[in-house]
Structure formats: C-alpha cells, structure tokens
Amino acid sequence: MSDVARFNPTGRFSGLADVYAKHRPNYPEAAVEHIIWQCSLVGDAMLIDVGCGTGISTRQFASHGLQVIGVEPNDAMRARAEAEPGPSTIRYVKGTAEATGLPDGCATTVLAAQAFHWFDAPKALQEFHRILRPGGWVALMWNERDERDACTTAYGAVMRTGPSAAAVEGPRRGAGEALLHSPLFTEAHKVVFHHEQPLDEEGLLGRAFSASYAPREPQAAEVFAARLREVFAHYQENGRIVLRYETSVYCGKRQGA
C-alpha cells in the first residue's frame, strides 16, 4: 500500500461529489488528443477510466466518440457521474484500481486521471496489465499547479495549509514514475501540457474545497476561505482569476502477448 493510500482514498471523498463535479477543471484538449493518438483509440477501442470520480475525464474522452467505462469505488461520486449528461457510449461500474471486476483483455487503454496516486501502484499496474489487450496502453494524467504564475503560487500557499496537504501532494507529484519503471510496460514516456482554469470567487472557493485535504472543521474552514478570498481580491481582474496548471501525461505499452 502506498503512503497516500493509507488516507482512505475511497472514503475521504464522501460528501464532495457535488463540489467536485462543479469546480474541478477538465484536462487540456491537447493532452486528450495526445492520448487518443498515442494509444490508437480508433474503431472499436475501449477506454477504461479507473478512479473516474464524477466522470470529468470520462465524458471528455467519450465526447471524441469513444466507448468508455468509468470505474469508481465511491458510491456518491459514481452516482454523481451517472447523473451528469454525457454521451451514450459511457457506462459506470463499481470497482477499484486493484480489482476492477472487468474481464481479461477487455481494454484498449486504461486511463487514470488525477487518481493514480491513490492506488497501490504495483497491484494497480498488474490489474491494468490483466485487463488490457495485447499491445494496449496505460495513460496516467494529472493537473498540477504551475506555480511559476504568481496567482497560482498564492493559491497553492493557502492549499498547503490544509490538513494532510503535504502527505497527499508530495507523493502525487512523483506517482507516474511507477509506470516509467514498471517491467509490465514498455515505451513508457512522459509529456507535459499547459492548462488554465478561469474562476470567479465562488469558483475559486469551490475548487479549493473540492480537495480531499481542505479543512472541514467549521472554524478552520472559515479561516481557509478567508485566505482564499484575499488571494482572489489581490489577483482578480474583472471579477475573475486564472489558475495555471501543468498537465503531466505518462503513457506505457503493455508487455507480452
């Protein structure tokens, strides 16, 4: 079990489904298109989106005409995904990264978007290898704050005051390295894209409180929100700020027949 996985990755998102669905960013279209190209997602291709949450990445890939199965263990998050409008090519199932419940060789590509750091990496990669077709691909993707930008730096400074922030953010940044060094996959590589998220003040607070490590205790949450409002007041232009992201994409091809 990874250090982050000890923080109850399924349960800690309970109660966050609505704010997560409303305020989390999507992914840069260039990153989505890169995965579609790299992983040869054409024809009867099947994408399995593991740890799909409220279906943000699921719907984004399905909008390209792909068959997508979203796998999510948290019942409330999965129900929120199912309630969202989206292409008819999507279906959702209950499962974990280490035990998806899907049949051998069913997937052209396995995707984990903003999720792989919550998994037991060796067990998850073994499961991904099992459900992939020969020659199939794994794609891991994260939006990470680009703190070369002053506003995003100020926002990040507030986020790092959240309970267990360091314990979650630290391991998340290096989680994709497990794919690069796995003997189960070949041709592994990393590509980085740029992304941004314009937000009004409500959106900035929603984005922050969608994090699993944002404070929930009322007094601490009030202080957290006040600091976020200070960031917004300082950096806003015409009632909006922009958070900047670097989106990391790791891809690796399944070894073996």
203 in any annotated domain: no
Q: What is the CATH number of the domain that holds 172?
A: 3.40.50.150
How far apart CA 46 and CA 213 sit, in angstroms, is 33
For 235, residues 6+ apart whose C-beta sits below 8 A from its C-beta are 150, 151, 154, 241
Structural tokens at position 51:
């740890």
89 in any annotated domain: yes
Average pLDDT over residues 196-215: 96
53 in any annotated domain: yes
Give the three-class secondary structure for 50: strand
Mean pLDDT of the chain: 94
pLDDT in tens, 161-185: 998 888 888 878 889 999 999 999 9
pLDDT in tens, 44-69: 899 999 999 999 999 999 999 999 99
Number of separate domains in the chain: 1
153 in any annotated domain: no
Pairing of strands 241-254, 185-199: antiparallel
pLDDT in tens, 11-43: 556 678 999 999 999 999 999 999 999 999 998
How far apart CA 115 and CA 9 sit, in angstroms, is 9
Residue with tokens 């593991």: 50
Give the domain extent around 83.
Answer: 4-145+167-197+246-254
Residue with tokens 């929100």: 225
**Over 90: is that where the pLDDT of 256 sits?**
no
pLDDT in tens, 111-157: 999 999 999 999 999 999 999 999 999 999 999 999 999 999 999 99
